[in-house]
Structure formats: structure tokens, C-alpha cells
Amino acid sequence: MKKRKGISLVIVTTAVAIMMILISVASVVGSGAISSANFDEYRSNISRVSDLVNEYYLQNDSLPVTNDVVNLYSLPNDFRAELKDNNDLSNTLFVINVDLLNDETIKNGRGTLSSQDVFLVAEETNNVYYMKGFKYKSKTYYGV
């Protein structure tokens, strides 16, 4: 009997199955890491805007805001719940004029109220929120 040379079908099938398992595990871990990194970037942006708002307030004795005021009842329930947790439910929310902060690295918050791509600041506490929010692990975050 002659000995055959080459790779058998069983070996090829096993190798393909192992590669598919490794690829699926890597993609699940990778997408979780990307989501976590995006959330960290969101929190960093909110924190940076908050610091810049406070710095602006100390230098100018006024908030860096537009004339737009947000109606609390137009906000989603989870946003109002976060405002309540931060004792900002009774505060007026103003739209931050990001251009006054003089930081070109801030990409979000340059939109309009209708697009919800704006940062908001509570009048009394200077707490900063992002109107559009950031969804992470089935919860939407609006502030830090």
C-alpha cells in the first residue's frame, strides 16, 4: 500500500474551527475594550469641559454660555434623575459656548439644541452635562 502525502480533511477542519474560535473570542474582547476606551474618553471630555468652565468663571465672573436655556421637562427621565442625584434639578441649565473655552481639542458640544450636541452647565453648581449623553453598558450617562 502506498503512503499518501498531504494534509487530511480532518486536520484542515480542526484548524479552521480553532481559528474561528480564536477570532470570535478576540473580537468580543476587542469590542469591549473599544467601548470602555470610548467611555473613558467621554468622561475625560466632560471633566475637561467642567475644568475649563470653572476656570472661565474665575477669570470672568460669568459662565461661558449662550442665551439658550434648557427646559428640564424636555429632557429624558434618566437625565432628570441624574440632575436630581446631583442636586441640580432646581437649577437653570444653560448651553455652554464651547468657543469661549479656547480649547480646540474639544470636538463635541459644538452643535445646537435640536441636534443635542451641546454641553450644559447648571447655574448654581457649575456641574457640566452632555445633552446627547453617552450609552455604556445599557445605561446612558449625561455627566461624570
| pLDDT one-digit tens code per residue, 49-81 | 999 999 999 999 999 999 999 998 889 999 999
Of the chain, the percentage scoring pLDDT greater than 90 comes to 59
Distances (CA, A) of 127 to 17, 49, 51, 109, 123: 52, 10, 10, 15, 8
Strand order in the sheet with 93-96: 65-70, 93-96, 119-122, 128-130
Q: What is the pLDDT of residue 2?
A: 65
Q: How confident is the model at residue 1 (pLDDT cuts 50, 70, 90)?
A: low
Average per-residue pLDDT in the chain? 90
- Residues 5-11 have a mean pLDDT of 78
Average pLDDT over residues 92-102: 94
